[in-house]
Amino acid sequence: MLKRSGLRHYVTSRKVADSRHEAGVRTCDSVDCIRSAANILQSMDKAVDPCEDFYTFTCGNWAEEHPTPDTAIEHNWFAERTQHVMRRIRGKHQHFVTDNLQKNGSENEPLPVTQARIMYMSCMNTDELDSQGLEPMFQFLRDIGMQVRPSLQKEATQEPFNLVPIAVKTKRLLYQDILVGFSIYPQNSNRTIQRLTLGTPDVRSPLPGYKDIDKQIEKRRKKAKMKEEKEEEDAYSAAFLEYLAQAISYIYRWNNSASLDKDFDLTVKMAALRILEMDQRLTGVMNENDEDEEEAVEMSVEELQEWTNNDLNGTLKLNWTEYFTLMFEGIENVTLHLEGGEDKIVVTNADYLKSLMKLLSETSSKTLELTMWWEVVHILAPQTNRDMREMKERYIERVMGGRAPETRSTFCTNAVNYLMGMAVSYFIADANFLNATKSKVVDMLVDIQWAFSSLVRSADWMDEETKIATLEKAAAVKHFVGFPEWLLDRDQLEAYYEGVHVNETAYLYNMLGIVGLFTTTMLQSLRKPNDEDSWATEPTDVNAFHTFQANAITVPSGILQFPFYGLGLEALNYGAIGTILGHELTHGFDNSGRQYDKDGNMRQWWTNSTVEEYVNRSACFIEQYSSYRVDEINSWVNGRLTLGENIADNGGLRESLRAYRRFRERNGPEPTLPGLEAFSDEQLFFLSFANSIHSVMVWCENWSKESLQWGMDDEHSPNRIRVLGVLSNSPEFSKVWKCPKGSVMNPERDKCRIW
Ligand SMILES: [Zn+2]
C-alpha cells in the first residue's frame, strides 16, 4: 500500500524554519501549545519522508506511545478521549470530586442527576445482582406472557403460539426489533409528516452488554454466509452454539427443583442447534432481500396483510392490525386509523416481509417460541448475575480472539451515559463554556460555511441555478454545539426525565423505566410535527454528526477537547476540529446529502446536467479509493461504500484550510510551536489534521487484524487511507510540503475533486 522510505529526511521544512527564525517569529509557550507540541513530536516518525507516507511521518510512533488497553479491540484518539470523558463523569480525578457518579449528591442537584447516580450504584452493586440471580429476568418474561423455561422438545403438542404480542412487547419494553423492524420516520419528501415504517429488523435494545460487538459479529456472520465463506461462518456458529447451550442449561438449572431428565444435556444441545438454524434461516432471508436494493412502498394495513398472506397455506402467524393496535395501546394522544388506509404504512422491504412470513409459516410453534424466548433472554441475561455475565464475556472473547472485557465501572458508566446521557452531561455542562468556547467554535463554523460557499461560487461544473440553491442550503445549515442550554435549567432537565423512577436494588427495572420513556416518545412522535430541531446525540459523545433531514450538524462537548480542540494555535485547531466541521458540513452535499434540499426534504433540487457532472466526479473518487489495498488483511477498500465519507473528507480539508487562511488574513501570523519551529503554520495545519481524527475511526491508531477486518465493512475508509486519499488530492498539501510530482502523496494521476 505505502512504501516506507526509512532513510530520507525531510529537508523542506528546515529551510522554512530558518526563514521563520530570521523573521523573528515568536514561539508559543502556553500550556496548550506545549501539550500539542509534545503530542505531535511523540507521534511523529521523522525518519519517514512526508511526501512518501504522511501518515507514518505524522503518526508512526503513536502506537508505541499509546498501547491498546487489554480491554479494547482497537485504539485511537476517539476511544482514548471517550475513556477520558467517562472517567470525568465517574469522577476518578481529584479535581472532579464534587460532581460525579460515585459521590453523594448535593440537595441542589436536579433529580435526574441523582437518578443517574442511583442507576450507576445499582449497576455497580454486583452482590445484590448475584443475590437476585435470574429472578428479575424471569419476572420480565412472565410480564410479557412468555414461559420462563419453554419446552426444549422439538415436537411437543402443537399449541398455537401467537408471536405478535411478544414482538410488540419486546419492542415497547426493550426497544428491540424482533423479526421485523418497526419505527416512526419522517416522510422523505416532506419531513414534517411522520410515518409508520416497517422493514428488516434493525434497532437494538439500548440495554448495555457489548451491543456494538454483537452488531459487528452479526454483520460479519451475515457477510460470511452471503459470500459462502464456510470456515469463517462455522467459527462463528461454533462459538454461538457453545454460548447458547451453556446459557440454556444454566437457566434451566437455576433454582429449579424439578429433576431434569437424564438426556437433558443432549436436549439442550439440540435446542441450541434449532435456535441457530432458525437464526441462519432468518439471516438467509435477510441476505436474499437486501433493504438497500428495495424501493419503499406505501400500503394500507389490508394491503400489507394480503401481501404477506399471499402464497401461505393457511397458517397465518402475524396479524398486522393486531400488531399496530397493540403497539399503540395506551399511548396518549395517538389514535390509529388503520382501516381504509388513512394511516398507511411505509414498507421499506416488502419482499423481506413476504419471505419472512413464508419462513414463519413453515416453522413449528415450538421452535418459534424457543427462538423468540432467546431473542429476549440474550438481552436480559447479561443484566443478571455474575455467571451469566461471564458466559457472555467468554463468548465475546472467543469470537474476538481473546480480549478481556471492560471493567465493571467502565461498563456501568457507559450504560448510564447511554441511557441518561443528558442527565450525565450535567457534570460537564457549564455556563463558561457557552460564553467562551461555544462562540469560538461557532465563529469557526461560520468561516467554514463561508469557505464552502466560496468553493461553490468558483466551481466550473455547476450551473447558476444549482449554485444558488446550493448556497441557500449551505447558509441554512443549523448547528448544535457543546450541549443544549436547557441542561443548565433544573426545571427543564427534570421535565425531560419526567416519570422516571429508580431504586438502588432494581438495576434491570431502573433501565427498563428509561427504555419505556424512549418508546413512548417514539410512538407519540407519530402525531407530532417533526421539526428535527434536536440534538443528534449526547453532549458526552466524542464524535460529530450531520442530520440530512434537519440540515443540521451536531458538535458535542465531548469532541471539543484535546487533541481536536483547544490546541494552542488556530492552525492546529483548524487542522483538527476545523476539518471535522468541514467534513460534517460537506456531508450535506455528498452523494446522499445532496438529495435533500435545504429543508431536509428529499427531492431533486439540482438540474439534471449538474447531477450528471456530480456523478462523473464521484466516479473519480470511487476509482481512486477502490485502488487502495490494505496489505495486512489482503483486502481492497470499497470505493462505493465509502464514497460519502470520502467526499466529506476531501471537502472538509479544503474548506478548513481556506477558512484558516481567512482567519490569518484577519488576525495576522501565528507563533511557532516549541520543538516544531521547523514547521510553518500551514504545515502544522496538516500535521494536526493527520494527527487528529474523525468519526468512528481515528487517523492515528493501533490496528489489530480483527479491527482492520471489521473496519472494511465501515462506511469510513481505514484511517491510513483517509489521510493518503485526501492529501494526495490536495494541491495545497503538495505545495506546502513541496512534494514533487510523482511522489506517493502527489501522484501523477488527476486529482479527484468535487468541492
Ligand atoms: Zn462522516
**Domain shared by 21 and 109, yes or no:** no
Distance from the CA of 286 to the center of ligand 1, in angstroms?
26
Distance from the CA of 645 to the center of ligand 1, in angstroms?
5
Distance from the CA of 398 to the center of ligand 1, in angstroms?
31
Phi, psi at 430, each rounded to 5°: -145, 150
Query: Cβ neighbours of residue 230 under 8 Å, at least 6 residues apart?
Result: none
Distance from the CA of 647 to the center of ligand 1, in angstroms?
9
Distance from the CA of 639 to the center of ligand 1, in angstroms?
15
Distance from the CA of 30 to the center of ligand 1, in angstroms?
32
Distance from the CA of 555 to the center of ligand 1, in angstroms?
12
pLDDT for 684: 97
Distance from the CA of 543 to the center of ligand 1, in angstroms?
10
Distance from the CA of 592 to the center of ligand 1, in angstroms?
11
Distance from the CA of 585 to the center of ligand 1, in angstroms?
9
> Which of these, 514, 539, 558, 541, lies nearest to 426 by C-alpha position?
539
**Residue 344 belongs to a domain:** yes
Distance, first Cα to last Cα, the chain: 26
**Domain shared by 575 and 698, yes or no:** yes
Q: Measured between alpha carbons, how far is 620 from 750 in angstroms, rounded to an integer?
A: 9
Distance from the CA of 749 to the center of ligand 1, in angstroms?
25
Distance from the CA of 530 to the center of ligand 1, in angstroms?
24
Distance from the CA of 715 to the center of ligand 1, in angstroms?
8
Distance from the CA of 696 to the center of ligand 1, in angstroms?
9
**Domain shared by 523 and 559, yes or no:** no
**Domain shared by 513 and 467, yes or no:** no
**Domain shared by 523 and 667, yes or no:** no
Distance from the CA of 523 to the center of ligand 1, in angstroms?
29
Distances (CA, A) of 142 to 132, 135, 145, 246, 422: 16, 10, 5, 22, 32
Distance from the CA of 683 to the center of ligand 1, in angstroms?
24
For the stretch 447-462, pLDDT in tens is 999 999 999 999 999 9
Distance from the CA of 706 to the center of ligand 1, in angstroms?
22
**Domain shared by 640 and 729, yes or no:** yes
Distance from the CA of 213 to the center of ligand 1, in angstroms?
21
Distance from the CA of 711 to the center of ligand 1, in angstroms?
14
**Domain shared by 300 and 447, yes or no:** no
Distance from the CA of 202 to the center of ligand 1, in angstroms?
20
- Cβ atoms of 77 and 698 within 8 Å: the answer is yes
Distance from the CA of 708 to the center of ligand 1, in angstroms?
18
Number of neighbours of residue 735 by Cβ within 10 angstroms: 11
Q: Is the Cα torsion angle 643, 646, 650, 651 positive or negative in sign?
A: positive
Distance from the CA of 251 to the center of ligand 1, in angstroms?
43
Distance from the CA of 250 to the center of ligand 1, in angstroms?
43
Distance from the CA of 644 to the center of ligand 1, in angstroms?
7
**Residue 578 belongs to a domain:** yes
Distance from the CA of 587 to the center of ligand 1, in angstroms?
7
Distance from the CA of 651 to the center of ligand 1, in angstroms?
11
CATH number of the domain to which 622 belongs: 3.40.390.10
**Residue 623 belongs to a domain:** yes
Cell of 478: 443549523
Distance from the CA of 690 to the center of ligand 1, in angstroms?
16
Distance from the CA of 692 to the center of ligand 1, in angstroms?
14
pLDDT for 89: 58
pLDDT for 190: 86
Host domain of residue 573:
4-73+428-484+535-736
Distance from the CA of 69 to the center of ligand 1, in angstroms?
26
**Residue 667 belongs to a domain:** yes
Q: Measured between alpha carbons, how far is 635 from 441 in angstroms, rounded to an integer?
A: 38
Distance from the CA of 584 to the center of ligand 1, in angstroms?
6
- Domain count for the chain: 2
Distance from the CA of 579 to the center of ligand 1, in angstroms?
11
pLDDT for 542: 82
- Cβ atoms of 76 and 702 within 8 Å: the answer is yes
Distance from the CA of 652 to the center of ligand 1, in angstroms?
10
Distance from the CA of 594 to the center of ligand 1, in angstroms?
14
pLDDT for 540: 85
Distance from the CA of 697 to the center of ligand 1, in angstroms?
10
Q: Measured between alpha carbons, how far is 68 from 39 in angstroms, rounded to an integer?
A: 17
Distance from the CA of 591 to the center of ligand 1, in angstroms?
12
Q: Measured between alpha carbons, how far is 70 from 404 in angstroms, rounded to an integer?
A: 6
Distance from the CA of 583 to the center of ligand 1, in angstroms?
6
Distance from the CA of 590 to the center of ligand 1, in angstroms?
10
Distance from the CA of 662 to the center of ligand 1, in angstroms?
24
pLDDT for 253: 94
**Domain shared by 317 and 463, yes or no:** no
Distance from the CA of 698 to the center of ligand 1, in angstroms?
12
Distance from the CA of 695 to the center of ligand 1, in angstroms?
6
Distance from the CA of 578 to the center of ligand 1, in angstroms?
13
Distances (CA, A) of 310 to 180, 181, 297, 362: 18, 21, 17, 14
Distance from the CA of 632 to the center of ligand 1, in angstroms?
24
**Domain shared by 400 and 413, yes or no:** yes
Number of neighbours of residue 31 by Cβ within 10 angstroms: 9
Alpha-helical runs (H) found in 125-229 = 126-132, 135-143, 163-169, 211-226
**Residue 745 belongs to a domain:** no
pLDDT for 1: 31
pLDDT for 221: 77
For the stretch 123-181, pLDDT in tens is 999 999 999 999 999 999 999 999 999 988 876 556 678 889 999 999 999 999 999 99
Question: What is the amino acid identity at position 462?
Answer: M
Distance from the CA of 648 to the center of ligand 1, in angstroms?
6
Question: What is the amino acid identity at position 20?
Answer: R
Low-confidence ranges of the chain (pLDDT < 50): 1-22, 92-99, 694-703
pLDDT for 3: 29
Distance from the CA of 649 to the center of ligand 1, in angstroms?
7
| DSSP SS3 for 163 | helix
- Diameter of the chain by CA atoms? 92
> Which of these, 218, 235, 217, 275, lies nearest to 251 by C-alpha position?
275
**Residue 81 belongs to a domain:** yes
Distance from the CA of 424 to the center of ligand 1, in angstroms?
26
**Domain shared by 311 and 168, yes or no:** yes
Q: Measured between alpha carbons, how far is 574 from 207 in angstroms, rounded to an integer?
A: 37
Distance from the CA of 453 to the center of ligand 1, in angstroms?
19
Distance from the CA of 577 to the center of ligand 1, in angstroms?
13
- Cβ atoms of 365 and 159 within 8 Å: the answer is yes
Q: Measured between alpha carbons, how far is 224 from 219 in angstroms, rounded to an integer?
A: 9
CATH number of the domain to which 87 belongs: 1.10.1380.10
Query: Cβ neighbours of residue 106 under 8 Å, at least 6 residues apart?
Result: none
Distance from the CA of 414 to the center of ligand 1, in angstroms?
23
**Domain shared by 580 and 693, yes or no:** yes
702, HSE (Cβ side, Cα atoms, 13 Å): 17
Q: Cell numbers 479535581 label which residue?
A: 95
**Residue 715 belongs to a domain:** yes
**Residue 225 belongs to a domain:** no
Distance from the CA of 338 to the center of ligand 1, in angstroms?
38
Distance from the CA of 321 to the center of ligand 1, in angstroms?
39
**Domain shared by 33 and 81, yes or no:** no
pLDDT for 694: 35
Distance from the CA of 454 to the center of ligand 1, in angstroms?
22
Distance from the CA of 611 to the center of ligand 1, in angstroms?
21
What pTM was estimated for this model as a whole? 0.83
